[in-house]
């Protein structure tokens, strides 16, 4: 268990924008920061971070919370793991009591897999640095590749002994269960027997964006033709090949800073680039590039530079990945190395300045690269040239941005010496086919294809009818839950202004000389939370929503006990569900905040200038709503019991309507 004082220290030191900035590219937006959601596939940023309140909200997925909630959602940390991660980031020593055997047993499978993987990484490092076999075989190999001791340590490189059960026996001796060794893929179990998967290989730990060990890549050092040169961990509950990029942990900050990511193929390509001085580089680990891997980069930058070996055949085989990148709305450049060179060897032979200069001068836009590569294949054959152009148009059709499409088509027309009209017509046909697929519904009329064809006078595609009236499908009439919204507003007011002292102008019901009820104005000074509590208590009003009800009493108690109520600290003291609800309430309010109007000499009224009025109107509106509900109950009772009781019920209804008329005068509007 981590002590409360350590947790408090971690929260005080942590800056939400800094922590999230390690995983998501954030841009300043008024007093907040915005970025693309790390939890969903989106092209318009809806992920908002509030440095003032130290909370975040992802409007695309609905998730939100404090700094710990982000790490638990994004990295699948447990609460203690998130605290430890932050403590490490901010160099804080945490006080922790020894876990009991019972507590250790409660660790779930996922956590056990992480622990086994972490142990394996340290074990392979120790073997390489502290055993004769490790030094003479593993360490020698890395030194021959030109890696310095600092680089080897930075990437946690290691070596697995060429023994059938060397690692497995060591792990079992330390108390790790064979069940989890098998689930990580580190140990292969066959009946009663077991043996090491990576025996006799140098080891490359594969880490998550936060630095947790997910799996391994292992390279064999013998000339055994039956064994694969490289072997990866099998997929597990913590390791999904299609969602991981090798080197992302070391590269994430440089990618965001440089606003560009170099994408290579192998582990040593990444490591050699880092050692040379270029650190914004990751690898797909020898697997085909996937949309999930691209989205991982997309959180940090919109720009990818794909680095290909000088092998032409390999380039053609990998070119499909470019279309996937384009589909994600990203900008792609391509750089190839001289024949016989790869990123590893080229970086090894050049200084950082020389490598940067080469990448700068030899990086081509994807359209130039693809055209050059395919034209070379066409070899002046008209049919092959037509196929080449069609292939390029197919790639351009993947781009979601219309303006980019048009620019690339113009570039293609220039390079291939063909009219733009023909290219636009071809793009229109491709887009139309895509739109007419079953999943596309009946949207072909408004597809990008038809607008391009018409815009360029193509005879193959009719121009769209811009004045065609399309009947909207009837939308379901979603009834607004008035009570829910008003209760939510009360919670928001308590969170934002609960401790503020305001002058509340109230109208008190009094009986005049004739016996009629009249309203007399009275000004009373009180704290916002006191006003709300007394008004709700006076009318015996209760929350209908259980979450709001729980929050209401917690907030009232906290405000009553703590004169120095701090919202940012309060969010960290409630459980995860309530914390997310608070975040949702506050960030919905933040989402609609006006920014930068003052630049245009427009000075909107601050919300804090009308807090007393806001409180009074919200409470009165809730009163009126509950009166309406009560009247409906009476009406139902009247229908069910047509007897003498009706008269008394009607009298009560009349009284409620009279009260509602008085409340409408308070609100200065018709109800």
Give bridge partners of residue 283 from the DSSP assignment.
246, 264
SS (H, E, C) 85-124: HHHHHCCCCCCECCCCHHHHHCCCHHHHHHHHHHHHHHHH
Q: What is the mean pLDDT of residues 377-401?
A: 81
Q: Going edge to edge, which strands form the sheet with 331-336?
A: 281-283, 261-264, 303-308, 331-336, 364-365
Contact 144, 272 (CB under 8 A): no
Contact 435, 403 (CB under 8 A): no
Distance CA 78, CA 544 (A): 32
Contact 408, 437 (CB under 8 A): no
pLDDT tens-place string over residues 58-80: 888 888 899 999 998 888 787 88
With CA atoms as reference, report the closest residue to 117 among 248, 233, 285: 233
Contacts of 553 (CB under 8 A, 6+ apart): none
pLDDT tens-place string over residues 503-515: 887 666 667 777 7
- Determine which helix (DSSP H) or strand (DSSP E) holds 355, and give its type and residue range: helix 352-362
Contacts of 335 (CB under 8 A, 6+ apart): 305, 306, 307, 308, 358, 359, 362, 363, 364
- Residues, the chain: 671
Does the global pTM surpass 0.85? Answer: no
Average pLDDT over the chain reads: 81
Using a pLDDT cut of 90, give the percent of the chain over it: 31
* CATH of 248-455 given 3.40.1360.10, 3.90.1300.10, 3.40.50.300, 3.40.190.10: 3.40.1360.10
Position 660 pLDDT exceeds 90: no
Question: How many other β-carbons are positioned within 10 Å of the β-carbon of residue 19?
Answer: 23
The superfamily CATH assigns to domain 4-89 is: Zinc finger, CHC2-typedomain (3.90.580.10)
pLDDT tens-place string over residues 132-189: 999 999 999 999 999 999 999 999 999 999 999 999 999 999 999 999 999 999 999 9
pLDDT tens-place string over residues 517-575: 666 777 888 888 888 888 887 767 788 889 999 999 999 888 888 878 888 888 888 88
Contacts of 570 (CB under 8 A, 6+ apart): 495, 555, 558
Choice among 373-382, 608-617, 660-669 with the minimum mean pLDDT: 660-669
Token output for 168: 């497995």
pLDDT of 78 reads 78
pLDDT of 526 reads 85
* CATH of 109-239 given 1.10.220.110, 3.90.980.10, 3.40.50.1820, 3.65.10.10: 3.90.980.10
Using a pLDDT cut of 70, give the percent of the chain over it: 78
Q: Where are the alpha helices (DSSP H) in 45-190?
A: 67-74, 79-89, 101-105, 109-130, 132-133, 140-144, 149-154, 166-173, 178-184
pLDDT tens-place string over residues 89-126: 898 988 876 656 665 555 578 889 999 999 999 999 99
pLDDT of 122 reads 97
Place of tokens 């060179």: 341
Q: What is the mean pLDDT of residues 345-355?
A: 95
Determine the distance from the C-alpha atom of residue 362 to the mean position of all C-alpha atoms in its chain, rounded to a whole number: 33
Position 203 pLDDT exceeds 90: yes
Tell me the domain boundaries of the chain. Answer: 4-89, 109-239, 248-455, 479-591+608-671
Choice among 147-156, 451-460, 618-627 with the minimum mean pLDDT: 451-460
């Amino acid at each position: 268990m981590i002590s409360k004082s350590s947790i408090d220290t971690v929260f005080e030191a942590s800056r939400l924008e800094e922590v999230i900035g390690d995983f998501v590219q954030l841009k300043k937006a008024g007093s907040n920061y915005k970025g693309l959601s790390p939890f969903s596939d989106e092209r318009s940023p809806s992920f908002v971070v509030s440095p003032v309140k130290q909370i975040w909200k992802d409007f695309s997925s609905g998730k939100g919370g404090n700094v710990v909630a982000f790490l638990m959602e994004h990295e699948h940390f447990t609460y203690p793991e998130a605290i430890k991660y932050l403590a490490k980031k901010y160099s804080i020593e945490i006080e922790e009591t020894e876990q009991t055997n019972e507590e250790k047993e409660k660790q779930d499978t996922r956590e056990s897999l992480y622990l086994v993987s972490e142990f394996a990484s340290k074990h392979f490092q120790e073997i390489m640095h502290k055993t004769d076999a490790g030094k003479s075989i593993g360490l020698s190999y890395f030194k021959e590749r030109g890696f310095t001791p600092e680089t080897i340590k930075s990437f946690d490189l290691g070596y697995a002994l060429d023994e059938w059960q060397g690692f497995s026996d060591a792990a079992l001796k330390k108390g790790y269960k064979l069940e989890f060794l098998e689930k990580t893929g580190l140990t292969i179990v066959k009946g009663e027997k077991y043996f090491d998967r990576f025996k006799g290989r140098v080891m490359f730990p594969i880490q998550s964006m936060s630095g947790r060990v997910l799996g391994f890549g292992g390279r064999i050092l013998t000339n055994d033709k039956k064994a694969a040169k490289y072997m990866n961990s099998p997929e597990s509950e913590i390791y999904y090949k299609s969602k991981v990029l090798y080197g992302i942990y070391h590269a994430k900050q440089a990618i965001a800073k440089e606003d560009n990511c170099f994408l290579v193929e192998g582990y040593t390509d990444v490591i050699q680039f880092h050692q040379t001085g270029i650190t914004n580089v990751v690898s797909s680990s020898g697997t085909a590039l996937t949309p999930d891997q691209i989205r991982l980069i997309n959180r940090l930058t919109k720009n990818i530079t794909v680095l290909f070996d000088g092998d032409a055949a390999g380039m053609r085989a990998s070119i499909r990945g470019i279309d996937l990148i384009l589909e994600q709305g990203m900008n792609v450049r391509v750089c190839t190395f001289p024949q016989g060179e790869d990123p590893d060897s080229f970086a090894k032979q050049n200084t950082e300045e020389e490598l940067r200069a080469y990448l700068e001068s030899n990086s081509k836009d994807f359209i130039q690269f693809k055209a050059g590569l395919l034209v070379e294949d066409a070899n002046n054959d008209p049919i092959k040239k037509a196929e080449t152009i069609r292939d390029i148009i197919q790639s351009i059709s993947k781009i979601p941005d219309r303006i980019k499409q048009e620019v690339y088509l113009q570039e293609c027309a220039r390079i291939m010496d063909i009219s733009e009209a023909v290219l636009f017509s071809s793009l229109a046909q491709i887009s139309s086919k895509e739109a007419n697929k079953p999943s596309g519904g009946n949207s072909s009329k408004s597809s990008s294809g038809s607008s391009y064809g018409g815009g360029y006078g193509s005879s193959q595609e009719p121009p769209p009818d811009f004045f065609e009236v399309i009947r909207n499908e009837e939308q379901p009439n979603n009834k607004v839950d008035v009570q829910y919204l008003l209760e939510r507003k009360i919670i928001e007011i308590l969170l934002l202004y609960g401790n503020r002292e305001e002058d509340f102008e109230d109208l008190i019901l009094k009986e005049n000389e004739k016996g009629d009820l009249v309203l007399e104005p009275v000004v009373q000074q009180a704290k916002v939370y006191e006003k709300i509590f007394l008004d709700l208590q006076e009318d015996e009003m209760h929350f209908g929503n259980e979450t709001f009800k729980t929050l209401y009493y917690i907030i009232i108690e906290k405000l009553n006990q703590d004169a120095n109520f701090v919202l940012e600290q309060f969010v960290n003291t409630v459980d995860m569900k309530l914390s997310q609800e608070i975040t949702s309430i506050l960030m919905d309010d933040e989402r609609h905040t006006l920014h930068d109007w003052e630049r245009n000499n427009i000075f909107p009224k601050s919300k804090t200038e009308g807090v007393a009025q806001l409180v009074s109107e919200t409470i009165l509106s809730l009163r009126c709503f509950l009166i309406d509900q009560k009247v409906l109950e009476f009406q139902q009772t009247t229908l069910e019991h047509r007897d003498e009781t009706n008269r008394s019920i009607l009298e009560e209804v009349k009284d409620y309507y009279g009260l509602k008329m008085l409340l409408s005068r308070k609100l200065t509007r018709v109800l």
